[in-house]
Amino acid sequence: MNMKQHIPNSLTLFNLLSGCIAIVFAFNNQLTAASWLIGIAAVFDFFDGFAARLLKVSSPIGKELDSLADVVSFGVVPGVIMYKLILLSSNVPLFEVLEINIIPFVAFLIPMFSALRLAKFNIDERQTDSFIGLPTPANAILIASFPLILNQESILTGLNISSISNIFGNFYFLIVLTIILSYLLVAELPLMSLKFKKYNWGDNRNRYIFLLISLLLLIFFFYTAMPFIIVIYFLFSISLQP
């Protein structure tokens, strides 16, 4: 077997490795590090597909391996981060089983629906040029932005009582958001794909415009821009529907 055939799968395995390490950090309350590792996993996830197309070595095993890695990095990891955020949030109701509060287990809807979304994607022939439902990497990056935003807020103000902290640290907000995001993962909602088959302007005008807007928001607002970028992604995708 040609060595170049192993390159995309190797990148996918580094995606998986990043997710595994992120889980360890998240369970040790190092949520900022876990969030950065989701970003690193997303980079590997982008380049494994890019390498497969560039080298023309796409394979069925690569597709399956990619989904398995994504379940961990973009399903389990954001689920654990959300679990920790809910556990540490204000006004958490107490319902203990074996001395463990199981209310925050609601966060594990995220890996459950992420797995379902990835399984549907693998057999759904409609999702070649666009997505149906929120892509798992976008969902994971959104959730990963919360610890980064909270950490940035703490660094900038020296306090943890800002309006942003009050929102992302509120139990009811996090529970409702978890349910909404879980639904969006499997919703029959057509969304723009950010995967480039070609790189010319004509075929990718909308992608380039969205990426430019996202880049400008990140430059000016840093991590705080991520929730707004996801909202813009939805609005952009909906506006492009015939």
Between 192 and 201, the higher pLDDT residue: 192
Domain that holds residue 136: 3-190
Distance CA 136, CA 152 (A): 24
Q: Indicate which CATH number applies to the domain containing 129.
A: 1.20.120.1760
Q: List, in order, residues 6 or more apart from 177 with CB less than 8 Å away.
A: none
Minimum mean pLDDT range among 9-13, 121-125, 172-176, 197-201:
197-201
Between 95 and 10, the higher pLDDT residue: 10
Q: What is the pLDDT of residue 214?
A: 87
What is the token pair recorded at 86?
């809910």
Residue 199 pLDDT class (50, 70, 90 cuts): low
**What phi and psi values does residue 189 have, to the nearest 5 degrees?**
-120, 110
Mean pLDDT of 184-190: 87
Q: Which residue, 193, 57, 223, is CA-closest to 132?
A: 193
Between 14 and 225, the higher pLDDT residue: 14
Between 163 and 85, the higher pLDDT residue: 85
Number of C-beta neighbours around residue 75 at 10 A: 26
How large is the angle between the packed helices 31-55 and 77-87, nearest 10 degrees? 160
Number of compact structural domains in the chain: 1
Determine the 3-state secondary structure of 97 from DSSP.
strand
**Is 56 inside a domain boundary?**
yes
Cα three-residue angle 71-75-76, rounded to 5 degrees:
95
CB 111 within 8 A of CB 22: no
Distance CA 181, CA 186 (A): 9
**Is 213 inside a domain boundary?**
no
Q: Is the pLDDT of residue 161 over 60?
A: no
Distance CA 5, CA 46 (A): 17
Between 198 and 100, the higher pLDDT residue: 100
Most confident residue range from 64-73, 121-130, 199-208, 220-229: 64-73
Query: What percentage of residues in the chain have a pLDDT greater than 70?
Result: 85
**Is 84 inside a domain boundary?**
yes
How large is the angle between the packed helices 31-55 and 136-157, nearest 10 degrees? 140
Please name the helix (run of DSSP H) or strand (run of DSSP E) that holds residue 55, with its range, or none. helix 31-55
Q: What is the pLDDT of residue 238?
A: 76
Q: What is the pLDDT of residue 6?
A: 80
**Is 155 inside a domain boundary?**
yes
**Is 223 inside a domain boundary?**
no
Distance CA 187, CA 175 (A): 18
Q: Is the pLDDT of residue 167 over 80?
A: no
- pTM for the full predicted model: 0.85
**Is 227 inside a domain boundary?**
no
If you average pLDDT over every residue of the chain, what do you get?
A: 83
What would the pLDDT profile of 213-223 be if each residue is shown by its tens digit? Answer: 889 988 888 77
**Is 145 inside a domain boundary?**
yes
Q: What is the pLDDT of residue 153?
A: 57
Q: What is the pLDDT of residue 179?
A: 96
**Is 238 inside a domain boundary?**
no
Q: What is the pLDDT of residue 157?
A: 47
Minimum mean pLDDT range among 89-93, 111-115, 214-218:
89-93
Distance CA 235, CA 103 (A): 32
Mean pLDDT of 110-139: 83
What would the pLDDT profile of 45-75 be if each residue is shown by its tens digit? Answer: 988 877 777 777 777 788 888 889 999 999 9
